Structure 1
Amino acid sequence: MSTISSATSSTASTTASTNAALQQAAQSIISGSTGNSSLDVSSLATALVNAKTAGQSTALTTQKTSDNTQLSAIGTLKAALTALQAGLTSLSDGTMLSKFSATASGTGITATAGTGAVAGTYSVNVTQIATAQSLTSGAFAATQTLGTGTLTVSVGGKSMSVDVNSTNNTLSGIAAAINSASGNPGVTATIVTGTGGAHLVLNSATTGAANTIGVSVSNLNNNNGLSSLGVTSTAGTGSAASTITSSGSIAWTQSTAAQDAEFTIGSVAASSSSNTVTGAIAGVTLNLTSAAVGAAQTQTLTVAQDTTSQATTITNFVSLYNTLVTTMGTLTSFDSTQSSSAQGPLLGDPTLNTIKNTLSTIVSGGVGTGTSSTNLASIGITLQADGTLQTDTTTLNSALQNNATTVASLFNSTNGIAAQLNNRITSFVQTGGVIDTRTTALNNDLKSIATQQTTLADYTMQLTNQYQAQFTALNTLMATMNNNSQYLTQLFGGTNSQGSLSANKA
């Protein structure tokens, strides 16, 4: 409707402009024929060409604008559909209903529940957390050259070789060589300087009793303390800490022992090389810190349905659906008091109407069969007169906490509300769907318009050249005729004059 009105208005404007140009051209011909002036060839050619092509040119431009406007509107519609579909993922595949929360009663333990978690309560007592070993060498002079040789540095059964030569045989040079060595098994080195001198500090990057650090020295030359960098670590058993033995005369000390986390779940003892524990309780990840350690620190871990997250997911779905409805309303808006250009670009569009009606039918319908059918209103989500959904938060939370069966039915992964919406949106936006088909048709029309505009431009140029040649010739002819008329008038005289021949005869 708006496209037709716009085209009519544009055509009327073009017609008026063309008529004005033709009148100006006609006046040019009259003036030229009476000898008052020469023909305005350019204006004459332009006016006649416009008279023949302006209507078609305007129609093509109007259609191009309409197509581009509709393409943009279809893109907006598709974006809103895609956003809604993204928000449906956990509702349509059933994962939202398997979301659990895990909460500890004390400090030092946090937990997350994932796939495989089940509701329940657990008593957890942490007696020690997992730590990464840290070793500190004896003191050396900061610039002391230690000799040359090879250091083999190992962590948890993996090792690397570090060549110590005349370019790096100070404590800081050795630390830099360890940190930059290829194949580093997970150890970092730094220098700590105290009152007694400089110390090489080695830290394991990984916690756990098995990840102990070892350093052996070989190929010694000009030994001046390099042999004292040798150290052997022995992992502790059970809850025991690791121990170390120095190889040289300058002893190493163990700043932090390598040990596993030790804890109990109920009456079951367990350990972990990491403070992120994934295998102790099915589907639950425990995160331990030192604040949880202590015989009196037994805590209760509660795993329950995560109704807060579920409510957030459902209300987000409602919000996205309402955004889509609002978008479709804007794209199809109509106001009789406004001009045609102010109406919605997809007003009366069959593609949008199909999508709107299909989705509305799904959200207003039920899930199930016969008397067991249930709908969104049963959990506090009702369809409004304008097509949007409204959520009663109290009713929704009550349903999530007390009527999980109804919620599970509404959002089951087979024919639940979200599953139906997801399937229909997929059919709309996929290749070959109604949106793709409509977009392809509009793009094809734009290509056709471009071809027609090129053809019209070529025709316009050809016609312009033709008219310019014709009117130039006419201008020359009329100028010659005017000159001849003036000569004959001078010779024979005119209505109010006496020619030279007449005068001579007298």
Structure 2
Amino acid sequence: MSTITSSSAASAASATVAADNAALQQAMQSVITGATGNSSLDVSTLVTALVNSKTAGQVAALTAQQSSDNTQISAFGTLSAALGALETGLTSLSNGGLQNTFTATLSGGTGITATATTGAVAGSYSVAVSQVAASQALSSSAFTASQALGTGTLSLSLGSKSFDVSITSSNNTVAGIAAAINSATGNPGITATVVNGTDGAHLVLASSTTGASNTISVAVGNLSGDNGLSSLGVTSTASTTGGQSTITSANNASAWTQSTAAQDAEFKINGIAASSSTNSVTSAIAGVTLNLTSAAVTTPATTQTLTVAADTTSQASAINNFVSLYNTVVTTMGTLAQYTQGATTQGPLLGDSTLNTIKNALSSIVASGVKNGSTSQSLGSIGISLQADGTLQVDSAALTNALQNNSSTVASLFNSTNGIGAQLSTSITNFTKTGGMIDVRTTALNSDLKSIQTQQTSLNDYIAQLTSQYSAQFTALNTLMATMNNNSQYLTQLFGGTNSAGALATNK
């Protein structure tokens, strides 16, 4: 059982014992009064007072210990939460991600945006876009909306993926065919719609995926009662030279038109030709995603400048966030271990060895810095100083200067091997993990609470037994005293008392 109790709990226990002693004195007065014949015993009050006087110390001690344990468990929960928040905030400072934070900006044109992520390298690039990626769309010739086109099978393909649609008398109108295509099992991304023009209803097929290879083809088989179904056959050919797709209708040159061709995005990076099946280009420049729109395609072609640079604003924000979270941990530990002279309530973890171990470990890491061979780097070299109360303070100007002009020092301080972030993260994990110091302490406290509950149950049983025993004894005593008082009064009536003559004395 833990021996640490709060001063307020101890004071409450003392007050309880004092109150029980006063109640006992009051109850005992009833015994004296009853014994002199003035009244009967107040059995209930007397029993309660006697039982409380005998058990008050134990009850108060268990209650105080229970309160102390719960307070300490709550305190460790508060500490663990603050440490967890700090560990989360250390992510980019412990895994090397801080150095992989870049901005990507374009100038000299429109229609292109860019983002830089892990793997990017600071530098400048020229970008010129000649065409953007597009998804193919085909429109059939016109039919009467209610026209039954016949029955058969449509075999559709999108790139290398294909599926079949059965056309029967129940779905062989333009609208029925469109619905059958959209609901077909295995459809890889062909959307069918009906466009009603002045000349009639057109079946429109569109690919959901951009790129020159994602072309749509339709083959018609098993024809019966052909009334236009055969004209839905079409073959699309992808361009192999970076251009646009072309189409060939099966039995009628004008049966289909290509409203939008399938094509890749075509562009140059520093004069080097490249292509992409989508307008989100991730493979052209390592760590950089280019987002292309048609606004980037101009005549004559416009060359834009892409600049990739370290994102010092985000880096400063991450470091300032770390300092703020670290200071929260320090402040939290200070509150939990606070000592106030003359106060009845002190910090719940005042003098606690676990708290002191954690405090010393964290402060040692931020104070020692990072060793790199025979040299070492400290937080002070980037404008972060350790204060007398254990908190950190940031000199914003010095930090900005270090990020812009001394990136190697920043990289060394927050490297993923032995950087400050990595050291703190490892240390915090050891403290907060299952089986770690905090878990061991809270487990012990919870075990102590279970022991207290067992003791309280046993004590309650003892109190009930003692109450029953005293009630029986003092009820019997009360009856005996009442009988004695009655006998005394009878004898006084017969023989007289100090201030009266009895009946026998008068009649003698």
TM-score (norm. length: structure 1): 0.91
User: Counterparts of 1:387-406 in structure 2 under 5 Å?
Assistant: 387-406=390-409
Alignment of 1:332 onto 2:337: yes
Greater displacement, 38-47 / 245-254? 245-254
Q: 2:317 aligns with which of 309, 312, 317?
A: 312
What's the CA shift for 1:74?
1.0
Task: Name the residue aligned to 1:436.
Answer: 439
1:113 counterpart letter in structure 2: A
Moved more, 413-422 or 167-176: 167-176
State the alpha-carbon separation in 1 of the partners of residues 46 and 149 from structure 2. Answer: 101
1:217-247 Cα offsets, whole Å, 9 max, x none, are 3333444443343332221232321122334
Using the TM superposition, name which of 128-137 and 348-357 deviates more: 348-357
| 1:227 counterpart residue number | 230
Aligned residues with identical type, % of pairs:
70
- Write out aligned runs for 1:246-325 (5 A): 246-247=249-250, 251-294=255-298, 295-325=300-330
In structure 2, the residue matched to 1:422 is: 425
* Alpha-carbon shift at residue 210 of structure 1 (Å): 0.7
Instruction: Report matched runs for 1:13-412 at 5 Å.
Output: 13-105=15-107, 106-247=109-250, 251-294=255-298, 295-336=300-341, 339-341=343-345, 343-368=346-371, 372-412=375-415
Amino acid at match of 1:62: A
Task: Tell me if structure 2 keeps the 8 A contact 1:133–1:256.
Answer: yes
One-letter amino acid of the structure 1 residue matched with residue 482 of structure 2: A
Instruction: Say if 1:45 and 1:468, in contact at 8 Å, map to a contact too.
Output: yes
The Cα of 1:452 is off from its aligned counterpart by: 1.2
Comparing 261-270 and 142-151, the one that deviates more:
142-151
Q: Distance in 2 between matches of 1:119 and 1:484?
A: 112
Change beyond 3 A, Cα 1:175–1:57? farther
Cα-Cα RMSD:
2.6
For residue 306 of structure 1, report the CA deviation from its aligned partner.
2.8
**What is the distance in 2 between the residues matched to 1:303 and 1:492?**
122
Mapped contact 1:2–1:340 kept (Cα < 8 A): no
Pick which of 205-214 and 479-488 moved more. Answer: 479-488
How far, CA to CA, are the matches of 1:173 and 1:69 in structure 2? 72
Could you tell me whether the CA contact under 8 Å between 2:6 and 2:68 is conserved in 1?
no
By how many angstroms is 1:258 displaced? 0.7
Q: CA deviation at 1:286?
A: 1.8
CA contact (8 A) 1:3 1:340 kept: no
Change in Cα spacing, 1:397 to 1:489, as seen in structure 2 (3 Å) is: same
Question: CA shift at 1:489, angstroms?
Answer: 4.3
- State how far apart, in whole Å, the 2-side matches of 1:358 and 1:433 are: 14
**Cα deviation code 1:161-181 (max 9, x no counterpart):** 223334434433333332232
Q: CA–CA distance in 2 between the matches of 1:4 and 1:230?
A: 87
Q: What amino acid is aligned across from residue 265 of structure 1 in structure 2?
A: I
Separation of aligned partners in 1, 2:295 and 2:248: 31
Residue identity opposite 2:141 in structure 1: G
CA positional deviation for 1:113: 2.7
Mapped partners of 1:152, 1:108: distance in 2: 38
Greater CA drift, 355-364 or 146-155: 146-155
Q: Distance in 1 between matches of 2:295 and 2:263?
A: 17
For the 8 Å contact 2:4–2:68, the answer to whether it is kept is: no
SS at match of 1:107: coil
C-alpha displacement of 1:470:
1.8
Contact 2:6-2:348 at 8 Å conserved across structures: no
How far apart are 1:364 and its partner, in Å? 1.9
Cα–Cα, structure 1 residues 370 and 293, in superposed 2: closer, same or farther, change >3 Å?
closer
Q: Which stretch of structure 1 is more off in the superposition, 224-233 or 127-136? A: 224-233
CA distance in 1, matches of 2:18, 2:80: 41
CA distance in 1, matches of 2:232, 2:471: 99
Change (3 A) 1:484 1:225: farther
Cα distance between partner residues in 1 of 2:189 and 2:360: 61
Shift of 1:64: 1.1
Q: Tell me how far 1:283 sits from its aligned partner.
A: 2.8
Q: Which amino acid letter does the alignment assign opposite residue 455 of structure 2?
A: Q
- SS state at 2:64 partner: helix
Task: Give the gaps of 5 or more residues in structure 2.
Answer: none
Letter of the structure 1 residue corresponding to residue 331 of structure 2: T
One-letter code aligned to 1:301: L
CA displacement, residues 456-497 of structure 1 (integer Å, 9 cap, x when unaligned):
111111111211222222233333333444444455555555
How far 1:332 sits from its partner (Å)? 2.4
Structure 1 counterpart SS, 2:371: coil
Inter-partner Cα distance in structure 2 for 1:191 and 1:474: 105
* Distance in 1 of aligned mates of 2:495 and 2:60: 55
Q: Which amino acid is 2:263 matched to? A: Q
Counterpart of 1:206 in 2: which secondary structure?
A: coil
SS at match of 1:368: strand
Checking the alignment, whether the CA contact within 8 Å between 1:411 and 1:417 is kept in structure 2 is: yes
Distance 2:357 2:462 in 1: 42
Distance 1:77 1:189 in 2: 60
**Partner deviation per Cα, 1:107-138 (whole Å, 9 max, x = no partner):** 22222333333232222111001111122233
Range with greater deviation from structure 2 (60-69 or 7-16): 7-16
Name the SS for the 2:328 alignment partner: helix
C-alpha displacement at 1:501, in angstroms? Answer: 5.5
